[in-house]
Amino acid sequence: MKKAMALGLSLVMGLGMLAGTASAVSAEETELNIYMWGDYISDDLISGFEEANGCKVNLSFMSDNADAVNKLTAGAGSDYDLIMTCDAYMESLIAGGYLEELDISKVPNAEANLNKAYWTEDIHNYCVPYLMNYIYVVYNKETCPLEEITCYNDLIKPELAGQIGSVDGARNLFPIALVALGYDPNSREEAEIKEAYEWLTQYNANVLAYGSTEQNMVSGAVSVMFTYDGNTAWAMDQMGEDNPLVIAPFTEDPVQLGMDLYVMPKGAEHQELAYKFLDYICDPEVMAANLVEFPYSCPNDAAVEAASDEYKNSPAFDFDYKTNIFFQEDVGDALPIYDQYYQMLKVG
């Protein structure tokens, strides 16, 4: 009996440990190692690239933007050839010398198809944008206690107590508070960040849960969500035609447009293959197929043109303030201030 139990216990513990071990990746000439968000690129795209180039693509996944930055600043060139990060960190990453400068002539598809309004001059030589996310407010017109939500300040009204499902992260939450208070969404002033923190404590009181916004909306746990456009597309799809979801008709407040992009860490080992991959994902047909599975906003104009009507007419992108946007900028030395107030917010 005891033996059986000991065996049982050790099995449980052993399994627990197995779950914790990281997958080891051996680097060969025919391998490409990519670190990015999980569930964010189509398997068909990856296998298509593998077939076309006779190589193996190893994907590893991050759980937070900070993971990618940690890897890049620790020197990830020996482990990864491409790393996904977002526009908010580009300035410091370039300044810190953590990135390879790209030879853009090797990614002609990117040069031809990507919209330069997003692939701006200052980051042009160090990254290739992948997909974009609007982070906006969506509500269920049948269950939301408010008639209408037209600005961020509506989100802290007491009627919405326990009604909001929200994305998480300091650099997603603080900008909306700063906008609501009339400040620069990328402020570096501690006094302003502190005020934003106070605004967010009211917001926090209305939030039911952070993360899983779309599931909570579909299951009916929340009636308002502050979320990504791709998540909204999913929720609308789940709730069927004539779904009661409305993208909040904002009148003045700008919404955040975040961009996920690929960078090459300094000293990446399989650069030729990495260039081929970047060029491959910028091919309009390839990206259009990818958008079927991952219907996010896309900086690749030709791909959007080639995309399905379903994507083009997706109600998740059907709002009229698409150009009233702000980007997450690198806040440099102010980052620890954000983190400190974010911590206070979460500890409560």
Partner 1 sequence: MDDNRTPKAQSSDQKKQNDQYGGRWLPEKSSSPARKKSRLPLLAQAGPVSLWMVLFVTLPLLFIIYVSFMTRGTFGGIEYRFSVGSYETIMDPMYFTVILKSFRVAAVTTGLCLLFGYPLAYYIARKPQETASRLIMLLMIPFWTNGMMRLNAWMLFFQVNGPVNYLLTHFGLTEKPVMFLYTDWLVNVGLFTNMLPFAVLPMYSSIEKLQKSLLEASFDLGAGPAKTFLKITLPLTFPGIFSAIILTFIPALGTYTVTDMLGGGKVLYIGNIIKNQFGAIRNWPLGAALSVLLLVITALLIFLYSRFAGLEDMEVV
Contact residues toward partner 1 (CB under 8 A) are: 1-6, 8-9, 11-12, 15-16, 19, 63-64, 66-67, 69-70, 73-74, 92, 96, 162, 168-170, 204, 207-211, 216, 219-221, 332-333, 335-336, 339, 342-344, 346-348
Whose Cβ is closer to partner 1: residue 207's or residue 307's? 207
Residue with tokens 């030395």: 333
Q: Of 321, 341, 322, nearest to 331 (Cα)?
A: 341
- Those residues with Cβ within 8 angstroms of residue 15's Cβ, 6 or more apart along the chain or in another chain: none
Whose Cβ is closer to partner 1: residue 107's or residue 177's? 177
Whose Cβ is closer to partner 1: residue 14's or residue 108's? 14
Whose Cβ is closer to partner 1: residue 70's or residue 125's? 70
- Minimum distance of partner 1 from residue 339's CB (angstroms): 5
Structure tokens at 141: 């017109």
Q: Of 278, 311, 280, nearest to 293 (Cα)?
A: 311
Whose Cβ is closer to partner 1: residue 46's or residue 170's? 170
* Burial (CB count within 10 angstroms: exposed 0-12, middle 13-18, buried 19+), residue 238: middle
- Minimum distance of partner 1 from residue 247's CB (angstroms): 22
Instruction: Give 101's DSSP letter.
Output: P
Q: How far is CA 24 from CA 17, 21, 37, 271, 327, in A?
A: 15, 9, 18, 20, 36
- Minimum distance of partner 1 from residue 101's CB (angstroms): 20
